[in-house]
Amino acid sequence: MWITKLAWLLLLATAASATAVKVLSNLTTILADGSTSLAFSLYQNLAKDKSVENILISPVVVASSLGLLALGGKGSTASQAKSILSAAKVKDEQLHSGLTELLTEVSDPKTRNVTWKISNRLYGPSSVTFVDGFIKSSKAHYKCDHSKLNVSDKKSAVKSINEWATKSTEGRLHEVTKDVETDGAMIINAMFFKPHWNEQFHHKMVDDRGFLVSGSHTISLQMMHRTGLFDFYNDEANKLYILSMPLAHKLSSVVFIMPYHVEPLERLEKILSRKQLDTWMEKMKPTAVAVSLPKVSMEVSHSLQKPLQELGLTEAVDKSKADLSNISGKKDLYLSNVFHVTAFELDTDGNEIDSSIFGTDKLKNPKLFYADHPFIFLVKDQKTKSVLFIGRMVRPKGEKLRDEL
Ligand SMILES: *[C@@H]1O[C@H](CO)[C@@H](O)[C@H](O)[C@H]1NC(C)=O
Ligand SMILES: *[C@@H]1O[C@H](CO)[C@@H](O)[C@H](O)[C@H]1NC(C)=O
Ligand SMILES: *[C@@H]1O[C@H](CO)[C@@H](O)[C@H](O)[C@H]1NC(C)=O
Ligand SMILES: *[C@@H]1O[C@H](CO)[C@@H](O)[C@H](O)[C@H]1NC(C)=O
């Protein structure tokens, strides 16, 4: 009798583990690691540019665009793309299937409740023919679609790019760019991302507040509030708070890094690195925290052409050296633009709150985390250890509240 029971239990356990946890390939882990290094180098590169205010990039999506270049390129055009991913030694076929697996895993709406709509498009001049094999494999690996532009009509090119981005994000994105180079290949990532909290903010706990862009400039917006037990660290030496809030099923989390008071983020950016983040993560402890976050959407467009060039992608962007002949069958293409555009919506949505800790000692004397001034944030994936987003909120959307002298 007990043998049958045991057999049943074993059978059930095997069935459960087969459906619940998909084991990732070794290679996907390596690529996720490469994307984390890319996160910090790209962030720092963008932060150098004084005209850039908000920053928002998805390193895993940039990684897939580099994979696309490796697919379409030959020789050093392709190998430079792989090097930036720290994947110089990875075989091509493995690179493409590893990146496909990584992105499919982290953007799966079923297991993660996430709203993450990613549209990738490759544009080329109408004079160029895209090779069938490239069209097929870039669709299969990178969900990339393809389109042609009239080289001599920039105005309508810009218009059709912006319209495509708006349509593919269900109206969340309004503008990718005001200008393009139409004579080459152009990669565009258009995304809409909305985190789904592991435990929701109550939609009634939202009110009108102000966000201090600087000491003398306030923007009016809504803030959402909630008290809970979160990983938290008060870095007294650097006068910063670090807070990590889990997203659905704790498969990923949003990590906020915020100075105590309103100040330009340069001081924090000087110490921000992959190693520093690891140090902070190790020091975090479950803490009662009263969290207030802006309930806003950010719409950020970056041209990554120059940053990627500075990180080592020098051949693809050079008309005389680029070899993208796996795309067109000829050495007649160079990479003229890379646009990376995201609408990011911070909202109250999430799974049910476990209210059993309310009114207990665990939530006594909560620390305050009041995000009403510029901060840096990352969406970190627990399962793959990749960085889904890295960015900074410096100037959220909203009306100017007041300007003091
Ligand atoms: C991944 O594979 C490499 C080479 O096959 C091996 O050296 C390494 O230990 C593996 N890593 C993990 C995490 O399994
Ligand atoms: C979240 O995902 C789980 C499955 O992982 C599903 O059962 C649940 O309905 C989802 N909840 C929401 C609010 O989307
Ligand atoms: C491309 O644009 C130019 C300038 O607007 C126009 O004269 C030409 O007819 C267009 N070509 C095509 C194929 O639409
Ligand atoms: C790219 O070109 C190389 C060399 O001609 C070829 O071996 C390879 O199969 C091509 N890749 C694709 C995806 O067409």
Q: Is the CB of 89 under 6 A from ligand 1?
A: no
Contact indicator for 23, 362 with CB cutoff of 8 Å: no
The pocket around ligand 2, CB under 6 angstroms, is made up of: 111, 113, 248, 351
Q: Is the CB of 365 under 6 A from ligand 1?
A: no
Q: Is the CB of 71 under 6 A from ligand 4?
A: yes
User: Which of the four pLDDT bands, split at 50, 70 and 90, describes residue 355?
Assistant: confident
Looking at residue 324, the DSSP 8-state letter turns out to be: -
User: Which of the four pLDDT bands, split at 50, 70 and 90, describes residue 329?
Assistant: very high
The alpha carbon of 273 and the centre of ligand 4 are apart by a number of angstroms equal to 37
**pLDDT computed for residue 18 by the predictor:** 38
**pLDDT computed for residue 6 by the predictor:** 44
Is 380's pLDDT higher than 60?
yes
Give the count of beta carbons closer than 10 Å to the beta carbon of residue 202.
Answer: 12
Contact indicator for 293, 223 with CB cutoff of 8 Å: yes
Is 12's pLDDT higher than 70?
no
How do beta strands 367-370 and 240-246 pair?
Answer: unpaired
Is 286's pLDDT higher than 60?
yes
Q: What is the mean pLDDT of residues 356-374?
A: 93
Q: Which atom of ligand 3 is nearest to the CA of 151?
A: 1
Which bound ligand lies closest to the C-alpha atom of 155?
3
User: Which of the four pLDDT bands, split at 50, 70 and 90, describes residue 404?
Assistant: low
Q: CA–CA separation, 304 vs 313, rounded Å?
A: 11
User: Which of the four pLDDT bands, split at 50, 70 and 90, describes residue 402?
Assistant: low
Q: Is the CB of 150 under 6 A from ligand 3?
A: yes
Nearest to 345 by CA among 402, 289, 391: 391
Q: CA–CA separation, 161 vs 92, rounded Å?
A: 30
Using the structure block, give the residue that is written with the tokens 């960015």. Answer: 391
**pLDDT computed for residue 360 by the predictor:** 87
Is 16's pLDDT higher than 80?
no
Q: Is the CB of 138 under 6 A from ligand 4?
A: no
Nearest residue (CA) to ligand 4, atom 5:
326
Domains of the chain: 26-107+115-194+298-345 (3.30.497.10), 206-294+351-401 (2.30.39.10)
Contact indicator for 387, 39 with CB cutoff of 8 Å: yes
Q: What is the mean pLDDT of residues 289-316?
A: 97
- Output the average pLDDT for the chain: 92
Q: Is the CB of 19 under 6 A from ligand 1?
A: no
Q: Is the CB of 158 under 6 A from ligand 4?
A: no
Looking at residue 355, the DSSP 8-state letter turns out to be: G
Nearest to 191 by CA among 117, 124, 248, 259: 117
- For 191-250, write each residue's pLDDT tens digit: 999 999 999 998 889 999 999 999 889 999 999 999 999 999 999 999 999 999 999 999
- For 142-192, write each residue's pLDDT tens digit: 999 999 999 999 999 999 999 999 999 999 999 999 999 989 999 999 999
**pLDDT computed for residue 76 by the predictor:** 97
Is 2's pLDDT higher than 50?
no
The alpha carbon of 5 and the centre of ligand 3 are apart by a number of angstroms equal to 75
Which bound ligand lies closest to the C-alpha atom of 329?
4
Nearest residue (CA) to ligand 1, atom 14:
26
The alpha carbon of 210 and the centre of ligand 4 are apart by a number of angstroms equal to 55
Nearest residue (CA) to ligand 4, atom 4:
74
